[in-house]
Amino acid sequence: MKTVNKIAVITSGGDAPGMNACIRSVVRTAINEGLTIFGISGGYKGLVEGELIPLSRRSVSNIIQKGGTFLKTSRSESFYHKSGRRRAADTLKEWDIDGTIVIGGDGSFHGAHAISVEFGVKVIGIPATIDNDIYGTDITIGYDTAIGTALDLIDKIRDTAASHDRLFIVEVMGRQSGFIALEVGICGGAEEILVPETKVTMEDLGKMVKTWSRAGKTSSLVVVAEGDELGNAHSIAQAMKEKYNIDSHVCVLGHTQRGGSPTATDRLLASRLGYYAVIALKDGKSDIMVGWQNNSITYIPLLETWEKKKPLDAELMKIYRILST
């Protein structure tokens, strides 16, 4: 087994609160283990173009509390192609990099797995996405902060909805999963939660709204994940008006959910996963994700992180139905 001497860290895909805390953990753990550490600036695009910078303990001072990623991130069209990944692998070889830690989500892990299989690059993935949709970990970096941000905004919308006797449809992030919608919907007291994992028809929703009105509700809140099969919040509101003459107001929380200072939970998770990712590289592991399940570290093959589906909490779904009626 080749000794690991130089490693690199990269943040890829959508940013998530806690990425900086994770970079900090990776850098300081690597230095503590006697390794030389480089940061890749600009995600996979930066890797393809050779944008590497040496990092020290001081490079990551005063960033644990900051949202986003100081290494920057981007989408790389060239990395989707094998020729682009070859250039990325060549960059790592030119810099004598022995292993790379990729902090990101589903798409980032696809890229990490591909470059590992095709060119023998040693990679360790760390799950960082506000969607929390990565199989093999109970929670991803950024999720807890995003929940808090979304809930704070929904509480404010509730105040307006109650003051004006209105129905609000609030759209949160979640293209393929409803983790954010389910949790903030329960915590925000939503009357209905629409997620990609369950099927609710427009007819069902129309009947629900009318039932709420008959029950004496003067204001109501529907939380919808952006990837729900009924469509986004605007299309749902339009259909409700056209089919049932029900007026509603729309609020799309959008990218506000990605920003902000990470919570203590996200900082702690990022610090843990960053540490164990470095240790995993030193131990010769590769093509895996470092996850957190049942209050302990787990190592999951990168392939499984997207081939297997992470289910919504069935108990929470049951609880929400009881509490929303």
CB of 30 closer than 8 Å to CB of 7 = yes
The distance from CA 220 to its chain's CA centroid, rounded to whole angstroms, is 28
User: Is 131 one of the catalytic residues?
Assistant: yes
What are the tens digits of pLDDT across the range 182-206?
A: 999 999 999 999 999 999 999 999 8
- Considering only the C-alpha atoms of the chain, give the largest distance between any 2 of them, rounded to a whole number of Å: 70
> Average of pLDDT values for 158-179?
92
Give the C-alpha separation, 7 to 324, whole Å: 50
What are the tens digits of pLDDT across the range 65-92?
A: 999 999 999 888 899 999 999 999 999 9
What are the tens digits of pLDDT across the range 276-302?
A: 999 999 999 999 999 999 999 999 999
Please tell me the pTM assigned to this model.
0.95
Do the two domains 6-142+262-307 and 145-258 of this chain adopt the same fold? yes
What are the tens digits of pLDDT across the range 90-136?
A: 999 999 999 999 999 999 999 999 999 999 999 999 999 999 999 99
Give the C-alpha separation, 106 to 113, whole Å: 11
> Average of pLDDT values for 214-241?
90
Residues 6+ apart with CB under 8 A from 147: 180, 183, 184, 187
159 burial class (0-12, 13-18, 19+ CB within 10 angstroms)?
A: exposed
* pLDDT higher than threshold 70 for residue 1: no
Fold classified for 6-142+262-307: Rossmann fold (3.40.50)
User: Which residues are bridge partners to 221 per DSSP?
Assistant: 168
Catalytic residue among 15, 98, 131, 287: 131
How many beta carbons lie within 10 A of that of residue 2, not counting itself?
8
Q: How confident is the model at residue 212 (pLDDT cuts 50, 70, 90)?
A: confident
CATH number of 145-258: 3.40.50.460
Q: What is the DSSP string of 14-57?
A: S--TTHHHHHHHHHHHHHHTT-EEEEETTHHHHHHTT-EEE--T
Please, what is the end-to-end C-alpha distance for the chain in angstroms?
59
Residues 6+ apart with CB under 8 A from 246: 167, 206, 209, 210, 240
CB of 65 closer than 8 Å to CB of 24 = no
> Domain locations in the chain?
6-142+262-307, 145-258
> Average of pLDDT values for 310-316?
92
- Please, where are the H alpha helices in the chain? 19-32, 43-48, 82-94, 106-119, 143-164, 179-187, 202-214, 233-244, 264-282, 302-307, 314-324
* Phi, psi of 32, rounded to the nearest 5 degrees: -60, -30
CB of 131 closer than 8 Å to CB of 175 = yes
Give the C-alpha separation, 33 to 57, whole Å: 13
* pLDDT higher than threshold 90 for residue 50: yes
Average pLDDT, the chain: 94
Q: How confident is the model at residue 315 (pLDDT cuts 50, 70, 90)?
A: very high
